[in-house]
Structure 1
């Protein structure tokens, strides 16, 4: 007893260099400790349950805009009246406006923040972009900023942000109206890159325009960030307020145009034939109706109108505005039934994108609206448009997507088809996240891209049960998660500061949600919680804490361990079988004795009525995850057993469990369906010789 006591004493105390005995302690490193330090303190605006509180407030911004597209000079000119509603409890000394186009200004600092080096060879086009003789100037030219009465309004421009210097603070509950007029040169997004711009076609000297970030936009002010006025460096996207838009867009008379909002002057901008076809489309739910045909578009694009026309739109309760216009556009449409409400799915595309777009674009839009509405909330707007923009970007009710036929006969390969459908579903899906569930993209990219990438998987499988999903299945994130740790950041990182942007903000969070639904929570609990989050934060500004708390609140499952591991660290999953012991039993009166059978393998030295296996599982990886074990019996049958992640709460390195059966086991596999993103499966099988079978099996798994 003395020896034991001294041994315990030596663990609890240690002698310092002066011979004094000091206590050794540590902070709570348990993977299951609560997520208290990481999450903000709940308050009356954002509650501990994850839903908006009784005192939740949100600003509102209304815009009235007149926009003119100068096709000959590829230039946008605009004027706007902004009405800012201060619904917060704070008096505001100044207002902040986003000037995103300044990222393309001649003096922009964006090119200066990225490292560069000389390549021994590069294409001439890439060389010209990297070393232009004269740098393209696509920044805003602010012509005036005035008060409601037309008097000058003091303002300060700081790169992509403009501060409106108020004479006196804007009191809580008050509104402020002011005007801005501007112009800028439109970039060729096909040669110079960008999230909007034009694509030039040498044939007939035409342009397709996909226009966004084209107007000075108000920053978000809330109780989480205050003013969200982080500079726009080109990657991390946007934080925006909801409001009402009245927009008049003047373009060449022969252009076909699509935009955010309800078209107010349909009879003025569409031909009688187009109006009639559109009416047919509004009643057609099972097929696509062509409003402007390829033949008609080809005829129009051969000449240029000298006159203009103005398209008039009104959009209520949207956070942003975008449009697309070209004389080349074909237009097709179909109606979508969203729980008894008719929503229109539209596509605008040039002949270069047909027949790919004609076959799949509008149908992919319709599928997205149906699937997302099923799992979140009914799509509230009247339309969704997919535009042949040859990029992937999203805005309320309209998005710009890639895809052109790639075969010599004008057809398209499965690779091109699936990529186009994938991006279309993803970008249309952004109507839900973040265009309605309005998270801060500048700060938390994963809250829209990750959630949307997860939902995209469900829509893709609805569109085609054999859809080749490339992002979201656990096995597809293994390569990234097991990579060089110096080039991996936690999901909870600002998008501008991560290396593998796609894997970090899209792939890993989508995988995390897939694992939650399929492996940890189950479909019913996950779907209810995810729907609850979506509906709680429709047309509001959720933060990460609101998502984490709502998922737990609505499911009754403590997920703090999961959020911490998957979102706050770069830990990986690696669970293996360390050892297996077999035990036979001997009965002696009222006593049962376990006797270890030390013969090699899983077979017993003699027949038994009950087989007992003491299995020690090891966890070299940092993530705690369920242990999913598949036992294959000698008669060829299988049995699966799942131990919850909490099995690791007392020992983060290894745990021993006894498994008993009336049948003898032939082999044991961990995570046989690759559900947990295990980065090293070499320790997943017992006996070791069955590992080869496991490797062959892995290659056959869907996804």
Structure 2
């Protein structure tokens, strides 16, 4: 208020002004309460509370894996044996379990192949692969069953007796073999470079599907855009590869003395204490067998990983290998490392990969939640970018901002969905969108490359498109032209709006960090996220979650009119909500004397209708009023956001 002494006089004048101009003093012309109503069942139960916390009886099952596999780089095959130890913590006895056999996607008649457009898409894959499964045994106590049914990318394994509820255990073992696809749906596969083949191995073993309190068994087939939803457990796996291969994998290498020469181990010890990148295998040593632990035959690389939902690995004789230490906020250390062929070397290319990896992991650890794994590995492969716990596959030709962006993004996925174990196959926005959001701040902090998430008005073309889809559209159903917005940018913008426009950084950060900590190594659903942000942030946000995450409406705030009273001591500013998403109205008011102030109207004004008038009391004329002066909102019609103001005074 520019002059409080004029307050009473202005109120009286305003009353008469409104009366004569026909504007209702009461302001209630209609009721928009429907926009603010609940849009989904978010009531609590014994498994998931209304506060967004796991309930007192929350449960999830556990799966531990022991795997031995051998890579044949002549036939391009992987052969393995696996034992899956399953713990049933649910209240239900389970007569069977479901497993994913995702290599079966790479067959001529798989559902994924048959639902790929004739012209192909990003998720095209080979069709001459698929699992050979033999020697299956399902053991529960002293009983052994071999009964199983394979359906496309899923396998149902039956037990002679159900696995008991509340802690019962059983195991499934089998042998498996398949041809490693060259084109693995941009998630795994092989790449030929001058010095050999790079094998990027993911979805490489039979994996248990999730049984939860929401869907029971989650058995959606592996088609394309939909990613993964997996149980947590411990992994113990061995990869046997030719002697001249370097193998890197999720987790900790526990037999370095057997697979790394003394020279390599000495360099690794230096790297673990160095902030600068240290070569383990130099570019000129790629074909030097004297650097290897053996000069013929094979080597078996042994890895372990605790409390993880998955593991991946890479193997090649073409790898350059470098590493550096990661400093974590607790004082602990981890290792950043990269493997890449000589074709990827360059001061603006993969020679900076480990630097980028270290920067990303340290940033996310300090901002949100400490990185839990011992190693963070970046692998150059023929893959645009794909994440696994502690290990990424990124495009081998990426350079500069592109390499930083993909490295930062894929490592960000360690927080979503590797630590916070959401269901990617159903809710891509809970991992891709949340990750895109934290990538924005990581890139800002790094400072070398532009961060553009806040340029929301550059995206209004899509927001105005008749073919846009909602964030809640399942990824396998979403038009691929929309997937970048529905899974990545629009949900990320939603979090940006919560932080920078609606809640403010302090309230939002408290809520978001609490969400990560609360649901680390668990399985949150959308309602759990919404409830948690509301409860910790201290705000009923149904109006926003409903319209932004579960609708296709847009933001369009407008200034309808600015009217002055006769004594030039007060103005009636009328604003309108012309879009489908209500928002608080932040305005910058600039006065004729050069001063300015911010005025914020709460979102509740839209409960009373689509227009709202408020009294601006001042004895100094405003020369401009602008909605969202920082341009945070993706307002689809910026032409009505500002009132330039008439020249009230004549000089």
TM-score when normalising by structure 2: 0.89
Cα pair 1:439 1:541 within 8 Å, conserved: yes
Contact 2:623 2:646 in 1 (8 A): no
Report 1:261-276 matches (<5 A): 261-276=251-266
Report the equivalent of 1:493. 473
- Hey, what's the Cα distance between the residues in 1 that align with 2:368 and 2:239? 33
User: Hey, what does 1:60 align to over in structure 2?
Assistant: 62
Partner of 1:448: 431
Q: Is the 8 A contact 1:145 1:178 kept in 2?
A: yes
Where does the alignment leave 5 or more consecutive residues of structure 1 unmatched?
1-25, 118-125, 406-415, 586-607, 691-703
Pairing 1:166–2:166 present: no
Partners in 1 of 2:521 and 2:497 — Cα distance? 27
Distance 2:455 2:484 in 1: 14
Match of 1:334 among 320, 324, 333: 324
Say which is worse superposed, 554-563 or 490-499, in terms of deviation: 490-499
Change in 2 beyond 3 A, CA 1:627/1:27: closer
1:31-55: CA deviation from partner (whole Å, max 9, x where unpaired): 122x2x5024311111111011111
Shift of 1:476: 3.9
- Name the structure 2 match of 1:634: 592
Is 1:657 matched with 2:588?
A: no
Q: Say which SS state the counterpart of residue 570 (structure 1) adopts.
A: coil
Judge conservation of contact 1:349–1:357 (CA < 8 Å) in 2. Answer: no
Q: Deviations over 1:7-29 (max 9, x none)?
A: xxxxxxxxxxxxxxxxxxx9985
Distance 1:97 1:301, change over 3 A: farther
Report the equivalent of 2:170: 176
**SS class of match (1:497):** coil
Q: CA deviation at 1:82?
A: 0.8
For the 8 Å contact 1:255–1:327, the answer to whether it is kept is: yes
Distance in 1 of aligned mates of 2:430 and 2:616: 41
SS in structure 2 at match of 1:365: helix
1: CA distance, partners of 2:290 / 2:453: 39
Work out whether 1:144 is the aligned partner of 2:138: no
Shift of 1:200: 1.1
Q: What is the match of residue 622 of structure 1? A: 580
Per the alignment, in what secondary structure is the counterpart of residue 399 of structure 1?
strand
CA distance in 2: counterparts of 1:32 and 1:280, whole angstroms: 58
- Contact 1:332/1:358, CA 8 A, preserved across alignment: no
Partner of 1:528: 510
Aligned with residue 297 of structure 2, among 291, 307, 312: 307
**Cα distance in structure 2, aligned partners of 1:39 and 1:496:** 24
CA contact (8 A) 1:473 1:514 kept: no
Deviation at 1:472, TM superposition (A): 5.4
1:543-562 equivalences under 5 Å are 543-562=525-544
8 Å contact kept, 1:241–1:319: yes
- Give me the whole-angstrom Cα distance separating, in 2, the residues matched to 1:375 and 1:552: 20
On the 8 A contact 2:145/2:158 being kept in 1, the answer is no
> 2-side partners of 1:682 and 1:259: how far apart?
53
Deviation at 1:489, TM superposition (A): 2.2
Following superposition, the deviation at residue 116 of structure 1 comes to 3.9
Partner of 1:30: 34
For the Cα contact (< 8 Å) 1:403–1:419, is it kept in 2? no
**Deviations along 1:69-123, whole A, 9 cap, x unmatched?**
1100111111101110011111012110001111111221223224447xxxxxx
Q: Is the 8 A contact 1:470 1:476 kept in 2?
A: no
- Which residue, 146, 150, 154 being the options, matches 1:153? 146
Query: SS state of the match for residue 46, structure 1?
Result: coil
Query: d(CA) in 1 for partners of 2:118 and 2:106?
Result: 18
8 Å CA contact retained: 2:106, 2:113: no
User: May I ask how many residue pairs the two structures share in their alignment?
Assistant: 608
* 1:157 partner SS: strand
What is the CA distance between 1:478 and its match in structure 2?
A: 2.1
Task: Tell me what 1:509 maps to.
Answer: 491
Report if aligned partners of 1:630, 1:669 keep a CA contact under 8 Å in 2: yes
CA offsets 1:643-686 (integer angstroms, 9 cap, x no match) = 222221100x2111121223222222222221111011111122
Q: What is the match of residue 437 of structure 1?
A: 420
2:72 to 70, 73, 85: 70
**Local SS of the residue matching 1:276:** helix
Q: Distance in 2 between matches of 1:301 and 1:648?
A: 73
Q: Name the counterpart of 2:88.
A: 86
**2:613 is equivalent to residue 685 of structure 1:** no
Distance between the aligned counterparts of 2:296 and 2:614, measured in 1?
81
Q: Deviation per CA, 1:116-145: give whole Å up to 9, x if none.
A: 47xxxxxxxx89x99x9xx73121121231
The offset of 1:354, in angstroms, is: 1.0
Give secondary structure in 2 for the equivalent of 1:207. strand
User: Structure 1 residue 549: deviation in Å?
Assistant: 0.6
Alignment partners' CA distance in 2, 1:193 and 1:226: 28
Q: Deviations over 1:278-332 (max 9, x none)?
A: 1111111x31111111111154699997511100111111100100111111111
Deviation by residue 1:347-399 (Cα, 9 ceiling, x = unmatched) = 11111111244542112211222221223221111111111124211111111
The answer to whether the 8 A contact 2:186-2:382 is kept is no
CA contact under 8 A between 1:100 and 1:213: conserved in structure 2? Answer: yes
* SS of residue in 2 equivalent to 1:179: strand
Determine if contact 1:321/1:395 at 8 Å carries over to the other structure: yes
For the structure 1 residues 456 and 182, does the alpha-carbon distance in structure 2 shift closer, same or farther, using more than 3 Å as the test?
A: same
Aligned partners of 1:552 and 1:558 also within 8 Å: yes
Aligned to 1:66, the other structure's residue is in SS state strand
Mapped pair 1:401 → 2:394: yes
Cα distance in 1 for residues equivalent to 2:213 and 2:143: 32
2:422 and 2:523 in contact (8 A); partners too: yes
| Alignment map for 1:346-425 (pairs within 5 Å) | 346-355=337-346, 356-391=348-383, 392-404=385-397, 416-425=399-408
Report the TM-score, using the length of structure 1 for normalisation. 0.83
Shift in alpha-carbon separation, 1:510–1:539, aligned structure 2, 3 A: same
Partner of residue 613, structure 1: 571
Q: Which residue of 2 aligns with 1:643?
A: 601
Give CA-to-partner distance per residue, 1:455-492, whole Å, 9 cap, x none.
1111111111x5322445422432221211xx222212
Q: Which has the larger radius of gyration?
A: 1
SS at match of 1:495: coil
Distance 2:159 2:361 in 1: 43
1:642 and 1:299 map into 2 onto residues whose CA distance is 67
The verdict on how the C-alpha distance between 1:300 and 1:472 changes in structure 2, with shifts beyond 3 A counting, is farther
Q: Structure 2: give runs of 5+ residues left out of the alignment.
A: 1-29
